[in-house]
Amino acid sequence: MDLPRTFTIRERDHRIHNPIDDVKLATLGRAIRLRPGMTLLDLACGSGELLCTWSRDHGVAGTGVDISTVFLAAARSRAAELGVADRVRFTHGDAAGHVSDEPVDVAACVGATWIGGGVPGTIDLLSRSLRPGGMLLVGEPYWLLDPPDHATVEACDAIAAESFRDLPGLIELFGQLGWDLVEMVLADGDSWDRYAAAQWLSVRTWLDANPDDELAEQFRAELRDAPLRHVRYRRRYLGWGVFALMRR
Ligand SMILES: C[S@@+](CC[C@H](N)C(=O)[O-])C[C@H]1O[C@@H](n2cnc3c(N)ncnc32)[C@H](O)[C@@H]1O
């Protein structure tokens, strides 16, 4: 089981595979008041930037689980670079159904709620690894503006307009599921650009180095269309945030 090569070509230089930048990630780590010795589980951890930088900055320990061998290799080398390899561990595997052996203080799934079949299922999955009184972190998109047509829905990687809620709807859902929203850090246009625009340069440099690759034609088309799609649709219509939840 591994992530398709298209993703790792596009995002091979990303440390964070979401529209939250390094400053917002650090803000979130401070906002949730991490303390040395706290334990974290990060399902679909990508390149492990959350665990590595929070371990460096706050002395926390934790485990990340992801299917991408490329991103996990980057995570392990980042942990070594930041001197936290003794505190963070990265495991290759399907995060769907993953429950930690020991209950953790913070259980996170930042931008991959499909692992639980949506927000309610992912909250349920994460809560099975959580100690009583612990905190969940859920990263999820929401509509900034109602999508006016199917082109907008599709360009925002949604199956239907109902795939995402608006921000009040998402916050209502957390309450309906029995969780208090206790902190949040939201993406903005600039942090969307760090995620989306950084892919264009990665694609372009990959194309220059691999002009005859079987994926070259697909990536040439993507490089032509993606910037316009980003500014016309995602940057305008799609919000994204990480929400910190504690059981009511
Ligand atoms: C949008 S990225 C978010 C990564 C990370 N949370 C971050 O913020 O940088 C989604 C991640 O989910 C991983 N993924 C997808 N399906 C998965 C699964 N079933 N189990 C574990 N990881 C999965 C991908 O490899 C990718 O790293």
Does ligand 1 lie within 6 Å of residue 94's CB atom?
yes
Q: Which residues of 218-240 are buried (b: 16+ CB within 10 A; e: fewer)?
A: ebeebbeebeebbeebbbebbbb
SS3 25: helix
Residue 67 CA to ligand 1 center (angstroms) comes to 7
- Rounded CA-CA distance 13/15 in Å is 7
Atom of ligand 1 nearest to the CA of 49: 9
Task: Kindly report, residue by residue over 152-201, the tens digit of the pLDDT.
Answer: 999 999 999 999 999 999 999 999 999 999 999 999 999 999 999 999 99
- What confidence score (pLDDT) does residue 70 get? 97
- Rounded CA-CA distance 225/93 in Å is 33
DSSP annotation of 166 reads B
- What confidence score (pLDDT) does residue 1 get? 86
Q: What is the average pLDDT score of the chain?
A: 97
Mutate-to-test residue for ligand 1 from 68, 136, 243, highest number of ligand atoms within 8 A of CB? 68
Mean pLDDT of 19-45: 98
Task: Kindly report, residue by residue over 38-75, the tens digit of the pLDDT.
Answer: 999 999 999 999 999 999 999 999 999 999 999 999 99
- Rounded CA-CA distance 151/219 in Å is 20
Residue nearest to ligand 1 atom 4, measured at CA: 46
Domains annotated for the chain, with CATH where assigned, are 5-143+165-188+240-247 (3.40.50.150)
Does ligand 1 lie within 6 Å of residue 18's CB atom?
yes
- Rounded CA-CA distance 162/156 in Å is 12
**Is the pLDDT confidence value at 84 over 90?**
yes
What's the one-letter identity of residue 229?
Answer: R
- What confidence score (pLDDT) does residue 146 get? 95
Mean pLDDT of 193-216: 98
- What confidence score (pLDDT) does residue 99 get? 98
**Structural tokens at position 124:** 């349920």
- Rounded CA-CA distance 143/247 in Å is 25
Does ligand 1 lie within 6 Å of residue 46's CB atom?
yes
Atom of ligand 1 nearest to the CA of 16: 9
Contacts of 76 (CB under 8 A, 6+ apart): 48, 85, 90
Residue 135: pLDDT band (50, 70, 90) is very high
Judge whether 68 and 10 are in contact, CB under 8 Å.
Answer: no
- What confidence score (pLDDT) does residue 15 get? 98
Atom of ligand 1 nearest to the CA of 68: 25
CB count in 10 Å sphere of residue 34: 20
Q: What is the largest CA-CA distance in the chain?
A: 56
Task: Kindly report, residue by residue over 73-83, the tens digit of the pLDDT.
Answer: 999 999 999 99
Q: HEC string of 115-160? A: HHCCHHHHHHHHHCCEEEEEEEEEEEEEECCCCCCHHHHHHCCCCC
- What confidence score (pLDDT) does residue 54 get? 98
Residue nearest to ligand 1 atom 2, measured at CA: 17
